[in-house]
């Protein structure tokens, strides 16, 4: 069930003939009253037969003459030439043209845009979920890079780098003074190239030096833990945190469920909590696969574009994975940062009564973007369709409302800064005729400490039966 690339609709020209009502003069006279009106009222108001000038609304509705369009392009060329010849400093012509292309695309909506070659390469790496690197998860601590954990079966893990190691040098350059992003950039690189990492390890007198060969690293899209017990990380309820819909999303869900059953010797968990909070979305096909992991039939998402070729329906199908967890109760956590592909999954599971949604209203991005390669010149991101949930709901600029609204306890220092309106707050966002839009914010705050996570703790109590609500478990109609 692979999502096909949405094709751009060809630009077509149509001739709009204004509807004009013509009334014969003899009909007017036949209907005249017995006492004729003054002569000036009987005169034809348009004796010449000439058409009135079209209104501004009529002009905008009618297609423009191609000659007018090319005239505008001539205007662009004239301005471009004047900049080249008269600007105070010689400009970079390529950057000028790319800026003009970017301006044209971003004028359409907040999600269309131009991707120069470097940004296009970064985007492909981001969506693939793979890159050339060492395989360490890190955080910045007191100006140094601390290894949270090496990723299994990566150059870092095989070389013996351990959790809590402090990276102090990369290729002989001190890390102190670098930002975390700068350090990550130095550790990433072309697969097969070498990098020297110097680390300080507690209990070891001298710094340790490792020469590593960069390999293909798959970013972990899914993390899981068992919760609901007396201590964190213990219990009978599986919590799956899906951070992004990269190409690793469905694989991550599948592996997580396999690992959970393996750890429990085949015993199903008491419940599953799918955490989609602050998930910005990603690949639409991955959202279909992830939803299908929990559904055995029915539509997952509907897309509609300008032509039939851009409109489609994507369905779930029975498979061993969804059969294995069919009887396991499910809660999905969402908030103001749950967008796009995350909303597709949440909407599908809500419409099919497979899961109860807990949290706050989602972001409200209900449009699909196609990435169109421009060869060596990068790519363009173009909005080509709107998507709808299985029940034909558009969430564009409105978002998905949870079945049970649960708000976080926000620390005083974050209050007033933890809420976003979402898509409805973006300038130039696509509108849906006749549909209301979000006008108040939705929180994106999620505490790092699970014990203080009000939404997660409520979901755990809901599954354990310590909280009750008519929305859980959902009842299929």
Residue 70 has pLDDT above 70, yes or no: yes
pLDDT at 152: 82
The Cα–Cα gap between 125 and 159 comes to 25
CATH of the domain at 230: 3.90.226.10
Structure confidence by residue, pLDDT tens digits, 20-34 = 222 222 332 233 333
Residue 46 has pLDDT above 60, yes or no: no
Residue 320 and residue 440 share a domain: yes
Residue 204 and residue 271 share a domain: no
Task: Say if 99 falls within a structural domain.
Answer: no
Which of 174, 195, 218 lies at the terminal end of a domain, its last residue? 218
Residue 421 and residue 287 share a domain: yes
pLDDT at 56: 57
pLDDT at 18: 31
Task: Say if 136 falls within a structural domain.
Answer: yes
Residue 54 has pLDDT above 70, yes or no: no
Structure confidence by residue, pLDDT tens digits, 4-15 = 333 333 222 222
Give the helix ranges, DSSP H, for 152-224. 155-159, 180-187
Name the average pLDDT for the chain.
Answer: 87
The b-or-e profile of 39-55 (16+ CB within 10 A means b, else e) is: eeeeeeeeeeeeeeeee
For 267, the 3-state DSSP assignment is coil
The more confidently predicted of residues 35 and 185 is 185
Residue 431 and residue 308 share a domain: yes
Angle formed by the axes of helices 93-106 and 66-86, nearest 10° = 140
Angle formed by the axes of helices 284-294 and 341-351, nearest 10° = 30
- Poorest-pLDDT segment among 63-72, 237-246, 392-401: 63-72
Which of 218, 240, 259 lies at the terminal end of a domain, its last residue? 218
The Cα–Cα gap between 302 and 312 comes to 6
Residue 284 has pLDDT above 90, yes or no: yes
pLDDT at 14: 27
Task: Say if 61 falls within a structural domain.
Answer: no
The Cα–Cα gap between 69 and 232 comes to 64
Residue 389 and residue 265 share a domain: yes
What's the domain count of the chain? 2
Contact partners, residue 477, CB within 8 Å, separation at least 6: 353
pLDDT at 194: 96
Give 142's pLDDT tier (boundaries 50, 70, 90).
confident
The Cα–Cα gap between 321 and 298 comes to 16
Residue 357 and residue 238 share a domain: yes
Average pLDDT (245-271) is 97
The b-or-e profile of 463-476 (16+ CB within 10 A means b, else e) is: beeeeeeebbbbee
Give 44's pLDDT tier (boundaries 50, 70, 90).
very low
Residue 55 has pLDDT above 70, yes or no: no
Residue 230 and residue 195 share a domain: no
Residue 198 and residue 264 share a domain: no
Residue 214 and residue 226 share a domain: no
Which residues are marked as active site? 340, 351, 365
Q: Which of 276, 235, 239, 215 is nearest to 399 (CA)?
A: 276
pLDDT at 416: 85
Largest CA distance in the chain: 117
pLDDT at 141: 80
Give the rounded percent of residues in the chain with a pLDDT score beyond 90. Answer: 73
pTM (global) more than 0.85: no
DSSP 113-130: EEE-HHHHHHHHHHHHTE
For 161, the 3-state DSSP assignment is coil
Residue 466 has pLDDT above 90, yes or no: yes
pLDDT at 369: 95
CATH of the domain at 214: 2.30.42.10
Residue 189 and residue 338 share a domain: no
Which of 218, 246, 277 lies at the terminal end of a domain, its last residue? 218
Give the helix ranges, DSSP H, for 265-340. 284-294, 320-324
The answer to whether 222 and 240 are in contact (CB under 8 A) is yes
What is the helix (H) or strand (E) element at residue 226, kind and residue range? strand 222-227
Task: Say if 374 falls within a structural domain.
Answer: yes
Sign, Cα dihedral of 263, 265, 267, 268: positive
At 147, list the tokens: 């290894």
Which residue range(s) make up the domain with 254? 222-464
Angle formed by the axes of helices 249-263 and 284-294, nearest 10° = 30
At 340, list the tokens: 């796009």
Task: Say if 84 falls within a structural domain.
Answer: no
Structure confidence by residue, pLDDT tens digits, 298-331 = 999 999 999 887 789 999 999 999 999 999 999 9
Task: Say if 154 falls within a structural domain.
Answer: yes
φ, ψ at 44 (rounded to 5°): -60, 125
At 90, list the tokens: 């010689």
The residues pairing with 140 across neighbouring beta strands, listed in sequence order, are: 145
Task: Say if 296 falls within a structural domain.
Answer: yes
Residue 43 has pLDDT above 50, yes or no: no
Residue 285 and residue 195 share a domain: no
Residue 230 and residue 250 share a domain: yes
Task: Say if 54 falls within a structural domain.
Answer: no
């Amino acid at each position: 069930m692979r999502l096909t690339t949405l094709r751009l609709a060809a630009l077509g020209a149509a001739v709009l003939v204004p509807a004009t009502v013509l009334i014969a003069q003899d009909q007017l006279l036949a209907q005249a009253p017995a006492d004729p009106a003054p002569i000036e009222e009987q005169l034809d108001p348009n004796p010449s037969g000439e058409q009135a000038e079209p209104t501004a609304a009529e002009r905008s509705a009618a297609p423009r003459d191609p000659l007018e369009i090319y005239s505008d392009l001539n205007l662009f060329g004239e301005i471009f030439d004047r900049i080249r010849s008269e600007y105070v400093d010689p400009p970079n012509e390529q950057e000028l043209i790319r800026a003009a292309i970017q301006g044209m695309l971003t004028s359409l909506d907040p999600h269309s845009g131009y991707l120069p070659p470097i940004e296009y390469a970064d985007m492909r790496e981001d969506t693939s979920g793979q890159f050339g690197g060492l395989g360490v998860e890190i955080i910045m601590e007191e100006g140094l890079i601390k290894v949270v954990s090496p990723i299994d079966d990566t150059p870092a893990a095989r070389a013996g780098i351990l959790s809590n190691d402090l990276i102090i040098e990369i290729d002989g350059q001190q890390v102190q003074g670098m930002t975390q992003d700068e350090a990550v950039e130095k550790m990433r690189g072309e697969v097969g190239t070498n990098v020297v990492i110097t680390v300080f390890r507690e209990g070891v007198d001298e710094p340790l030096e490792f020469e590593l060969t960069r390999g293909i690293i798959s970013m972990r899209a899914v993390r899981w833990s068992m919760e609901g017990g007396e201590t964190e990380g213990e219990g009978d309820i599986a919590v799956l945190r899906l951070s992004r819909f990269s190409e690793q999303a469905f694989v991550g869900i599948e592996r997580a469920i396999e690992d959970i059953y393996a750890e429990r010797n085949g015993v199903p968990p008491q419940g599953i909590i799918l955490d989609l909070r602050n998930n910005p979305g990603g690949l639409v096909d991955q959202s279909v696969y992830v939803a299908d992991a929990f559904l055995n039939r029915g539509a997952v998402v509907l897309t509609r574009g300008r032509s039939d070729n851009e409109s489609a329906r994507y369905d779930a199908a029975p498979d061993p994975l969804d059969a294995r967890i069919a009887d396991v109760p499910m809660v999905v956590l969402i908030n103001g940062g749950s967008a796009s592909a995350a909303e597709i999954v949440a909407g599908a599971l809500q419409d099919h009564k497979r899961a109860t949604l807990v949290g706050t209203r989602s972001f409200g991005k209900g449009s699909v973007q196609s990435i169109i390669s421009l060869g060596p010149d990068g790519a363009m991101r173009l909005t080509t369709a709107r998507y709808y949930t299985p029940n034909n709901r558009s969430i564009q600029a409105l978002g998905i409302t949870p079945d049970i609204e649960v708000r976080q306890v926000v620390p005083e220092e974050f209050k007033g800064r933890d809420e976003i309106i979402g898509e409805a707050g973006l300038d130039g966002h696509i509108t849906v005729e006749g549909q209301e839009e979000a006008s108040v914010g939705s929180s994106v705050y999620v505490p790092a400490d699970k014990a203080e996570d009000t939404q997660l703790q409520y979901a755990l109590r809901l599954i354990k039966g310590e909280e009750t609500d008519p929305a859980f478990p959902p009842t299929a109609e």
